[in-house]
Structure 1
Amino acid sequence: MILFSHPTGNANVRAAALGLARAGLLGEFWTCVNYPPDRGLVRRLLPASLRAQFSRRAFPAGLQPFIRTQPWREIARLASHRLGLASLTRHEDGRFSVDAIYRALDRRVAARVATLEGVSAVYAYEDGAAHTFRAARKNGIPALYDLPIGYWRAARDLLTEEAELQPGWASTLIGNADSPAKTARKDEELALADVVYSASTYTLKTLAAAPGLRARVEVIPYGAPSLGTAVSPPPDARKRARNREDSASAPLRVLFVGSLGQRKGLSYLFAACRSLGASVALTVIGTRPLAPCAVLDAELARVRWIPSCPHAQVLAEMSAHDVFVFPSLFEGFGLVLLEAMACGLPVISTPHTAAPDLITDGSEGFVVPIRDAPAIAGKLDLLRRDRDRLRAMSAAAAARAACFTWESYGARLAASAAVHCARPAIK
């Protein structure tokens, strides 16, 4: 059986765990908070804002028998963030920082590896695997490592350069602040891994900068959401959706979804849209970073900005726009790309994401160079002027997204994990 761990459990983590469970490989799934759907009393007692927060930690029924939790530190982190206690959640050294949560769960799972019989492999994610993998190596157990974003040295080189190019945005480049201790743990995790899973060929390319990597690297792309019936946008979004059928004189509805840091290439998106004036209408969905950034605040004041919303509403907003732009400088995959495509949005993205794996340039979207606002503006203006092409690319994007499912992702991952469980760990 596989001992699987992740502190929060986002979409790709859940699909991986479900794939292992369906294949009969999952032994235990360790996470922080599990909010089962049958806790009706808890739901009624919690304030609406907290219900929304915890509902994101509701795992599917198929995983409930396997889940083990360590909740209190994560609950304290969420509460500290909500109360504005920034010192407690500060990057790395805050008592309830994200890094502290990852390390605490990692230590707990490592202790479990040392005492639980019948473990055939451990599966852990970047920043939360070092202790677990040490225990696995000591017990001769294979270590399966999930790297959801590119290798840190490649990121450091690129983002350090970006801070020099765009100093006003430097405070949003949080990864540049990683301590030597944290980056050393990342390298230790890679060195201890028997197999590394990545979701894009770009992540694979960044590992060329990893010294002494011995593990096999396998690329398994993520899945798109299964929308079933059409997503039902709210009334104001339905009105915006009708613009897809309007003449070229209507503003092109442009959408970005993601964290609001310069790693996502935001300054280039804002510059592209500014250059097109009233011919485009930009919506941005994402939470501002904790560190103040005056230039970001100024840009957000000029556009329609939604700080946060439930995933269903994100999909509804996608269905109400014309094109999705994701100009990321450094990404592991960019799950929002597939989500937007599933909603019928052509995408404009960069080769530093999974875009080259997902689309044919000019068919389901466009791949533009990083840091190229004029290139983004040119593609937006093309789609604004040629609505027939926009509609054709919309249909092509939805059809392409249907080729990527979470079920397929989980099944491929489980098939690979089964092979590695049968092999001895790297000495």
Structure 2
Amino acid sequence: MVRLIHPGVQHSLRLADQLFAEGLLKKLYTTLSFGKKSLAYSLFPAKLKSKLSNRVSGVVPDSLFKTYPLLEAKALWEYRSGGKSQDVYYKRNRRFQEKVIADFKESDHSPIIGFDTSSWLLADYAKAKSISFILDQSIADAVKKNRVYQQIQNQYPDWAEDLLQKRDLYLDVEKRELKLATKIVVASTFTKESLVEEGVDATKIVINPYGVDLEGFRPLDKPKKMKFIFLGTVNGRKGTPTLINAWKRAGLHEHAELHFVGPISTFVKNKLDCPGVTYLGRLNHEQIKKMLGTYHVLVFPSFFEGFGQVILEALAAGLYILATDRTAAPDIISGNLTAGQILEAGNEGEWASALVNCYNNISHINATISDRRALSGKFTWEAYGKRWADMIRSIDNNATEI
């Protein structure tokens, strides 16, 4: 059995659910998450339950949770008080690891699963105890990310404020995690290649793509007017400046709509002021499930990703995909012309042409919804969990309790 340790959310609860189903989850350490049947969660009003939906496990019992909610509350307060996100969450992650390690039993030698940016002390601990340490690397290499940020700044100098590069301290702890990991699990070929470029041993890396909630994300009735949607943090890394400029070049504002959904800074929000573009706010997962299927096309022009979960969610909802080769799109839709198109990051002309092409082929996009839905069905969370289970069981005798 394994100990799963993550101070935030991301896809960790999905992994926890699957490991529990496989009989492999010993303990889930986190800051603020709940079991769906927990007393605390049952007392929440419906509105709060919806807001916290991504922090709820469907199957893991309360007895397997170990939470540190005050750490999350303190980090949130510091961030909202003006703290820089890198500094705030580095401190949270360090203190989280210290508390988790202090709660470990000396006799427990079960493997540890940690996540990038929050596992360097766990990696040190595992090394000292000769315990298997599996690193879930959720995004491509941080050193390469800094170089990409510089490239974006060169192309879009007026977006420099939105592109904060990582300090050497934070790069060093991530390098330590990668070096000490027994295995490194990534979700896309792009992430693996970025790690190998920076000297990580390719034989340690396992590609395991995420799954999608096929029940929650479904095609819905679509309007006659074509609607494009961007989902995710609205910032420079996600390709927002490329998309805005491409939209202006495409000249579709009288015939189509482009909607943005996700967290956004005031700096970026001021740059979305152009015809045909609407910012809908930051919606929770349940809200997105209820509206995503009404759109025709997902636009995902990211310069740098680990996967891009929205690609699978959009496919499940029947949307056509426009995404870059710096996401999981090549792993999911490459060669499938009915599913979408893979475009070059930062190439405004190519993106403008793709937007126009979608508009001109709206009837074909509507006619092939079921094909995209079927493609998403190949990516289930159950299959994701089974691949994890097979890997854990293959890591010598440390994959079970000693």
Check whether TM > 0.5.
yes
CA distance in 1, matches of 2:375, 2:313: 11
SS in 2 for 1:349: strand
The question of whether the paired residues in 1 share the 8 Å contact of 2:338 and 2:371 is answered with: yes
The question of whether the paired residues in 1 share the 8 Å contact of 2:232 and 2:261 is answered with: yes
CA distance in 2, matches of 1:73, 1:110: 15
Specify the alignment match of 1:60 in structure 2: 58
Distance 1:336 1:230, change over 3 A: closer
Long gaps (5+) in structure 2: none
**Which of 223, 229, 235 does residue 242 from structure 1 map onto?**
223
The question of whether the paired residues in 1 share the 8 Å contact of 2:219 and 2:316 is answered with: no
Count of residue correspondences: 393
CA distance in 1, matches of 2:27, 2:270: 43
SS in 2 for 1:86: coil
Specify the alignment match of 1:235 in structure 2: none
CA distance in 1, matches of 2:202, 2:339: 36
Paired residues for 1:331-350 under 5 Å = 331-350=305-324
CA distance in 2, matches of 1:407, 1:379: 34
RMSD: 2.3
Specify the alignment match of 2:125 in structure 1: 135
CA distance in 2, matches of 1:229, 1:191: 38
Specify the alignment match of 1:371 in structure 2: 346
Distance 1:123 1:41, change over 3 A: closer
Cα drift, residue 52 of structure 1:
4.9
Paired residues for 1:360-399 under 5 Å = 360-361=334-335, 362-399=337-374
CA distance in 2, matches of 1:281, 1:193: 45
SS in 2 for 1:261: coil
Paired residues for 1:237-386 under 5 Å = 241-243=222-224, 250=225, 252-275=226-249, 276-277=251-252, 278-289=254-265, 292-293=266-267, 296-300=269-273, 302=275, 303-361=277-335, 362-386=337-361
The question of whether the paired residues in 2 share the 8 Å contact of 1:159 and 1:263 is answered with: yes
CA distance in 2, matches of 1:285, 1:229: 16
Percent sequence identity is 23
Query: Which whole-Å deviations, capped at 9, do the CAs of 1:310-364 have from their partners, x for residues lacking one?
Result: 2122122211111001011110000000000000001000110000000134220
Specify the alignment match of 1:211 in structure 2: 199
The question of whether the paired residues in 2 share the 8 Å contact of 1:153 and 1:209 is answered with: no
Cα drift, residue 383 of structure 1:
2.1
Cα drift, residue 56 of structure 1:
3.5
The question of whether the paired residues in 1 share the 8 Å contact of 2:186 and 2:192 is answered with: yes
1:91 aligned onto 2:85: yes
Cα drift, residue 98 of structure 1:
2.2
Distance 1:190 1:63, change over 3 A: farther
CA distance in 2, matches of 1:198, 1:229: 24
CA distance in 2, matches of 1:267, 1:229: 28
Cα drift, residue 231 of structure 1:
6.6
Cα drift, residue 60 of structure 1:
2.1
The question of whether the paired residues in 1 share the 8 Å contact of 2:217 and 2:289 is answered with: no
Specify the alignment match of 2:386 in structure 1: 411
SS in 1 for 2:228: strand
**Which of 170, 176, 190 does residue 160 from structure 2 map onto?**
170
Cα drift, residue 226 of structure 1:
1.8
Specify the alignment match of 1:110 in structure 2: 101
CA distance in 1, matches of 2:50, 2:93: 22
| Deviating more after overlay: 372-381 vs 52-61 | 52-61
Q: TM-score, normalised by structure 1?
A: 0.86
Paired residues for 1:114-193 under 5 Å = 115-174=105-164, 176=165, 178-193=166-181
Cα drift, residue 61 of structure 1:
3.1
Query: Which whole-Å deviations, capped at 9, do the CAs of 1:243-286 have from their partners, x for residues lacking one?
Result: 2xxxxxx4x21000000111111111111222223232101001
Specify the alignment match of 2:21 in structure 1: 22
Cα drift, residue 382 of structure 1:
1.6
| Deviating more after overlay: 322-331 vs 158-167 | 158-167
Cα drift, residue 413 of structure 1:
0.8
1:43 aligned onto 2:16: no
Cα drift, residue 394 of structure 1:
2.6
The question of whether the paired residues in 2 share the 8 Å contact of 1:18 and 1:63 is answered with: no
Distance 1:75 1:258, change over 3 A: same
| Deviating more after overlay: 26-35 vs 51-60 | 51-60
Cα drift, residue 229 of structure 1:
8.7
Cα drift, residue 135 of structure 1:
0.8
Q: TM-score, normalised by structure 2?
A: 0.91
Cα drift, residue 99 of structure 1:
2.2
Query: Which whole-Å deviations, capped at 9, do the CAs of 1:21-45 have from their partners, x for residues lacking one?
Result: 222221111000124443367525x
The question of whether the paired residues in 2 share the 8 Å contact of 1:383 and 1:389 is answered with: no
Distance 1:106 1:231, change over 3 A: farther
Cα drift, residue 309 of structure 1:
1.3
SS in 1 for 2:271: helix
CA distance in 1, matches of 2:187, 2:63: 27
The question of whether the paired residues in 2 share the 8 Å contact of 1:191 and 1:215 is answered with: no
SS in 2 for 1:391: helix
Cα drift, residue 217 of structure 1:
0.3
Cα drift, residue 306 of structure 1:
1.6
**Which of 77, 87, 92 does residue 75 from structure 2 map onto?**
77
Specify the alignment match of 1:247 in structure 2: none
Could you list the runs of 4 or more consecutive aligned residues of structure 1 that deviate by over 4 angstroms after TM superposition? 50-53, 228-232
